[in-house]
Each structure stands twice: as structure tokens, then as C-alpha cells.
Structure 1
Amino acid sequence: MGKVLHVITGLSRGGAERVLVNLLGGGLAGSSDCSVISLSNEGSYGAVIRALGVEVYTLEMSRGLPGAAALWKLRKIVREVKPDVIQGWMYHGNLAANVAARMAPGPRPAVVWNVRHSLYSLAPEKPLTRQVIRSNRWLSPKVNTIVYNCQLSRQQHESFGFASAKGRVIPNGFDTERWRPATERSSVIRDALSISQDAIVVGHVARFHPMKGHAAFLRSVVDVMRHRADVVCLLVGRNVNLENPALAGIVPRQLEERFRFIGEREDIHDLMQAMDVFCLSSWSEAFPNVLGEAMACGVPCVTTDVGDSAEIVQNTGIVVPPSDSESLAQGINELLQKTDAERKALGRAARNRVIANYSLQAVVAEYAELYQNLSNRGPA
């Protein structure tokens, strides 16, 4: 399929970055000559990608517009790689992909964008990001393909003015051999976290960011705990703790011992084995990876109705309105009121839905076919 150069904002632990790693590890790295440019640094995933045999370049940009040194380095990399396809990731990476294509020697490579966000409004975005999104809109007719990871994201961006003729949806894919039930890990994790084997564990996995809805989630769990003494809450994510000013004061002191704030972790698969219910509380998402991962692990989910979450979960879990802690508490309670056998049956249905609709193998095949078709086409 020719040479494919991926251009991404950074390689820290985030959803888009993890999808790129999953695709490369799931077969793209072996089926084409791939390279990756990080606009910033190698982050957490640079070494992982190199271990797959993929060259990683970094521009070492700080936040803001690229300077002359970064542009010169980008030009040098593009002329060295001579890609047939340049794949941008996220708004800044998409913009950089267009710049990189103009720097390429010989016939201009095809350009693909990857939009990983929903776009309910520009208001929550930083001023520079707003300008980058507007630039994406203006440039969108000039690219070959715009990949969205969910239908809602495509609808929102095309309503905003992104070229509708260039759009297509490729959902996130999951390695269901890696993300699978492993009930033998549950007791080990619970012992390590001092959680009773008889407790019902409500889990949440997300770095702290206002759009992840941590405050609403904590309020909902506090409400649940006031009526149930058997519930323990496990929260995983960077800067998620009661010392965070945005979360301070929500959990009453007498309930703090029933919360486990364990920070950023790499063993998410094992931690999910200890959860009876998984909760996604965001007020903005496109296709949340963590929802598919929990479902693949056989954990029934309560999710806010954001992005394509309702379509992903369907009748295997509970969907509630975003930014509504009372509805979130009701959704959690609805799952907790089911028997253990009923929750397990929902978990099996959730896993089967991921296998049937969101397998990594099928998603890798879609990207490979896209790149193959574009390799000899040239610019839009």
C-alpha cells in the first residue's frame, strides 16, 4: 500500500494516541511502510511504536504555532520518507499533515485526516484550537479523505462546514483477545486495593479533564452510597483525587474510606476485572475507547449519551443524559439492583457486541484498504 506517514500532535497516553498504537500493532505496521511524526515529543508511546519496527520522529514543538526550526525539520523528514499517504491525527496533526504534503518532493501525497472529537460547540476549546478547527474547515475540501471515529462527530463537523464529500466513519477497534474477562484477577486486585470480595465495585477510568464529568460522577456515587452500604468506588486516572480543587468537598468525610483514587495506571485490563459496573460520565466524547474496553472485558456499563456511546452500548447497558448526576445515580442504581447473574449476562452481551461490531482486525482492514486505494491517486 505504499508508504504511510502518520502525523500526530503527541504520543502521551490519550485516546487517539492509543488508537494509533493499536492500529500499528494490530497489523498496519506490518502491512505497509509506516512512519510516525509527533509534533511534540515521544511521550509514553514512542518506544512502544519503535518496538513495532516503525520509525518515530519528533518535532519537539511546545504549545502554539510551529517555529522555523520545526518547519525545517518537518520538511527534512518528509523529503526523507517520501510518503504516498500522509495521515493526520486530530486537528493540529491534520493541519500539519497538509503542510507536510506541500513539502513533499515529486507528486504530492494523498492526505487523510483523522477527527477524534465531537464538536458540540467551539466555546470550550482554547482560542488557538478554535482557529485550528476553523482552518481545518477551510482546508477540508482539499484533502482526500476525512476519517471520523463516530457518526455524530461526522454530522457535527459537516454541519460546521467540513467537506461532506470527503467524510467516512471508521470506528475504534479493540483487540478482544487482550481485552477479555479474566475473573481470576478480580480477587487479586481487590486484595491489593483493600476492597472486600463481597463489595460491589463501581469503576471509572479517565484522566482529569472537565469534559470527563468527574464531579457529576462523584456526586452520583455519593448519592448511591447513601442508600447502599455495599458499594465501593474505584477511580483510575491522572490528577483524579480529592486534593484536586475541582473535586474537593464533594465526597463527605464519612464516605471517603469507600473510594479508591489510584491515579494513572497501566494495568487497566486487570483493574476492570475488579469492577461490577463501569461508568462513563463525560459531557463530550466521540467514540470513547474506555467504554469499548470495559465492554470487551465483560463489564456492564452506564454511560452518558455523548458521541456514539448510546449506539455502542445499545441494550447491553444503561444510557443517561450528560451533566445530570441524578440521572447518573439512577442509572448506576438500575444496574446495582440486578442480580449478579443478570449483570454478568449483560456483560457477556456487551462483549459479544464489541466482537461483532468493533474488532481491531476489521478496523485495521478498513484503514489498510483506504491507504491502498489512495497510494496511487495523488492529491484531492
Structure 2
Amino acid sequence: MKILHTVEFYHPSVGGAQEVVRQLSERLAQLGHDVTVATTRLPERDFTIFNGVKIKDFSISGNAVRGFSGEIERYKEFILESDFDVIMNYAAQQWTTDLMLPMLDKIPSKKVLVPCGFSGLYSSEYREYYEQMKIWLKKYDACVYLSNDYRDINFAKKNGVDNKSIIIPNGAGEDEFSKKVNIDIRAKLKIPHNHFLLLHVGSHTGLKGHREAITIFKKSNIKDATLLIVANDINVRCTLNCHLAEITNHFCKLLHFTDKHIIVKFLSREETVAAYHEADLFLFPSNIECSPLVLFEAMASKTPFLTTDVGNAKEIIDWSNGGELLPTLQYLNGYVKADINASIDVLQNLFYNPQKRQNLAINGYKKWILSFTWEKITRDYENLYFNVLNDGWNEL
């Protein structure tokens, strides 16, 4: 098949959407398909092919609500003049998808949408956008949802497009997480070997729960512990606040008395995987998600996790029994926040119960290896693409 994946940002950019599309694109290319990714041009990207995937980049920014700027006509011409068998748009509310939506009837390729949660569904500024989405969804040959019960799939069902819906969850790569780790991340970051290692992985967006993770950690009565936040810079304020917490922690006598350290770092992918494997617990009090990729990566590394009730995190726990929910405050706009004091109790209870942590770790790993490897998920997408090409519709 000749396949086009569209996503706002792609390698070497780092983030959840980037990682999902990279995993799918590279693995489909390895299976012999001709795969191209259309994405935003980045100054640090000096290549047009990476790991067998062709990259077509455009100097465009924005979305249908904020407006677009850049090479808009060039992208439209590329889409309309292309001869791809299948085009998959990854995530709504960003330019690579939104510029295509009004043209769907004119594009001869089979079209697949992965909405990724419809994060603006409850926002007044997106009201007209989602009125139009009721029509646009029906023009896709298939829509892939990451959860059985979240705002995007519920929106589709309510508006009569569930007959084109299929569930394919996120995951983590067996080839990446099952191989031997050759990096001693504790030695590299000077984390004491007797320390309980709490890990958080999520970009400095201001919405990944960094502040809550730091507060829960600092106020808890656990000791001989390190909180490691692995994040790349996106939001300057979030970055500065996290590093300020790291610095003030260093000089806080109370925390020194209990020997609690905070480390905020950007790590390479290999170092991040090593951190997953070394962690005793994954702490993820995020404010908004669709289907948190990091929870699957925690399972793949045999790391139990604590997460807010965000996106389909509760469903992931039901699927895997690999973690627990933090008490969560829900807001009308779809955002959530960890209940700090109640979350401290949950963290402390798990900290002092190593057998329970071990059980959660084993449960999560077993479910991941059975159902949530990128190897399996890539085959699911391949089967879906063959299905829409052949005008068939069989449940995967």
C-alpha cells in the first residue's frame, strides 16, 4: 500500500502524537508499505527520509479555529494531487487534519481519522467546528478511537457515525522495552541506589501535572526517594517552574532531612526507556489526555503507575490492573486535577506496600505483552487499511 500519515509534529520533535505516528509509520514501512508523513517543517530536521519513512514537511501553523498561516495552498495541492491508497489524519484541531476537512469529498484516497480525544469539544470557541465535525466524520472511510468510552467516540455515536468506528488502543514496542538496557540511569543522574525512584514522563506543556506531582511528592511522608521528571521544553513557564522547584528543593532543609530529591531533565529516548525500567513507581497526575501513551510504557517496563482519572486512564487500569487512580477533581471543560491530599494518601499507601507494587507491575506487563505491543497494533492498522481499500468492514 501507498500510505500517507498526517500529524502536526514529527521526528525529531518529541511528544505522544509524534511517537505514535513514528511507531506506526516505521513499522508499516518495515512490513513493505510505502509510507509518507506530512508534517510541520522544523529547522532541526535536515533529512527527508528517516528509518524508511518519507517526510514531506510544510511551513504551516494553526488550525481551523485559530486560523492558518504558511504554505496552505502547497499542502492542499499536495493532498489533492497525491495518489496515496490510504490517508490517515492523526488528531483533530491541528492544521494537517483541519485543512483537509473541507476537501474530503475531493480526495480519491481512502481516508481514516484518529481524532485523539476532541480536546476542544467543550470549548465555546470550538462550537461551530464541532457542528461541522458531525458532517466531516461521516466522510471518512473509518475512524479509529483509542477508547471505548471517551468524548470523541461518544460524540461519534451520538451523531450516527459509530458504524465506521473501531477501537485500536495505544501501546509500547516490544523491541524497545524487552531488550537489555545498557544505561545506568541512576549513575548518570546521580540518583542514590537505595532511593525509591518516582518517574514522570511528559513534556513541559503546563498540563502534564508536573506541579501536582512535585507537590504530592514534597508533602508526602515518604523518604529516601527521588522524583525524576523527564520532559522536553514547550511551555517556558512550566519549564521554569519545574527547574525552580528542583533548585529550591536542593536547599530545603526539611526535604534534606527526609532525603528527598527532585530532578528535572530532558533525556534521549534510550535514557528515558532506561528510566522507566529503573523506576519503582510511575506518577502521572496529568490534567488532560486522550489515551496516555506513558501508561502503556510503564506497563512494558514492569512499573506500576498512579494516574489521575484523565482520558481513558481508568479504562487502561480496568484492562490491565497495572496501576491505580489518584483521587481526581473533574471540571466542566474536560480538564482534571489531582486531589492533592487524597493523592498523597494513595502514594504513601503504595510506597509502603512493595508486594502490591509488584503485583501491579506483573499484571500490567502481562496484559501489555498480550494486547498492547506496537507489533500487534501495527498489524491492526494494516488490517484496517486493507479493509477500507477493499470496501470491507470486518471487526478487528
Per-residue CA deviation, residues 68-108 of structure 1 (Å, 9 max, x unaligned), is 842234314542x311222111113333344565554xxx2
Q: 1:159 to 1:327 in 2, by over 3 A?
A: farther
Aligned equivalent of 1:309, options 313, 318, 328 = 313
- Deviation of 1:159 (Å): 6.4
- In the alignment, the residues of structure 1 paired with residue 78 and residue 280 of structure 2 have an alpha-carbon distance, to the nearest angstrom, of 51
Q: Which residue of 1 aligns with 2:2?
A: 3
Amino acid in structure 2 at the alignment position of 1:35: T
Per-residue CA deviation, residues 125-161 of structure 1 (Å, 9 max, x unaligned), is 9x4x665444433311222111111223344433674
Q: 1:211 to 1:33 in 2, by over 3 A?
A: same
Whether the aligned pair in 2 keeps the contact of 1:189 and 1:274 (CA below 8 Å) is yes
- In the alignment, the residues of structure 2 paired with residue 298 and residue 96 of structure 1 have an alpha-carbon distance, to the nearest angstrom, of 41
- 1:110 has 2:110 as partner: yes
Amino acid in structure 2 at the alignment position of 1:164: D
Q: 1:284 to 1:220 in 2, by over 3 A?
A: same
Aligned equivalent of 2:194, options 177, 191, 198 = 198
- 1:236 has 2:242 as partner: no
Whether the aligned pair in 2 keeps the contact of 1:13 and 1:45 (CA below 8 Å) is no
- In the alignment, the residues of structure 1 paired with residue 120 and residue 272 of structure 2 have an alpha-carbon distance, to the nearest angstrom, of 29
- 1:82 has 2:83 as partner: yes
Aligned equivalent of 1:321, options 322, 327, 334 = 327
The number of equivalent residue pairs is 363
- Deviation of 1:310 (Å): 2.0
- Deviation of 1:274 (Å): 2.6
Q: Which residue of 2 aligns with 1:208?
A: 204
Q: Which residue of 2 aligns with 1:366?
A: 380
Q: Which residue of 2 aligns with 1:350?
A: 364
Amino acid in structure 2 at the alignment position of 1:359: T
- What RMSD over aligned residues (CA atoms) do the two structures have, in Å? 3.2
- In the alignment, the residues of structure 2 paired with residue 310 and residue 271 of structure 1 have an alpha-carbon distance, to the nearest angstrom, of 24
Whether the aligned pair in 2 keeps the contact of 1:95 and 1:136 (CA below 8 Å) is no
- Deviation of 1:265 (Å): 3.8
Amino acid in structure 2 at the alignment position of 1:115: P
Q: Which residue of 2 aligns with 1:166?
A: 164
Any idea what SS the aligned residue of 2:60 has?
A: coil
Q: Which residue of 2 aligns with 1:298?
A: 302
- In the alignment, the residues of structure 2 paired with residue 264 and residue 82 of structure 1 have an alpha-carbon distance, to the nearest angstrom, of 39
Any idea what SS the aligned residue of 1:258 has?
A: strand
Any idea what SS the aligned residue of 1:23 has?
A: helix
Aligned equivalent of 2:262, options 254, 259, 262 = 259
Amino acid in structure 2 at the alignment position of 1:228: I
- Deviation of 1:116 (Å): 1.4
Identity %: 20
- Deviation of 1:283 (Å): 2.6
Any idea what SS the aligned residue of 2:61 has?
A: coil
Q: Which residue of 1 aligns with 2:175?
A: 177
Q: 1:198 to 1:318 in 2, by over 3 A?
A: same
Q: Which residue of 2 aligns with 1:221?
A: 217
For normalisation by structure 2, the TM-score amounts to 0.80
Where does 1:53-68 land on structure 2 (aligned, <5 Å)? 53-64=52-63, 65-66=67-68
Whether the aligned pair in 2 keeps the contact of 1:242 and 1:249 (CA below 8 Å) is no
- Deviation of 1:281 (Å): 0.7
Per-residue CA deviation, residues 36-67 of structure 1 (Å, 9 max, x unaligned), is 211x21577885x8233222111210335345
- Point out which structure has higher relative CO (alpha carbons under 8 A, 6+ apart): 1
- In the alignment, the residues of structure 1 paired with residue 378 and residue 169 of structure 2 have an alpha-carbon distance, to the nearest angstrom, of 10
Q: Which residue of 1 aligns with 2:26?
A: 25
Unaligned runs of 5+ in 1: none
- Deviation of 1:347 (Å): 1.6
Unaligned runs of 5+ in 2: 329-336
Q: Which residue of 1 aligns with 2:138?
A: 141
Whether the aligned pair in 2 keeps the contact of 1:5 and 1:86 (CA below 8 Å) is yes
Whether the aligned pair in 1 keeps the contact of 2:28 and 2:35 (CA below 8 Å) is no
- 1:287 has 2:291 as partner: yes
- Deviation of 1:18 (Å): 0.7
Aligned equivalent of 1:72, options 71, 74, 91 = 74
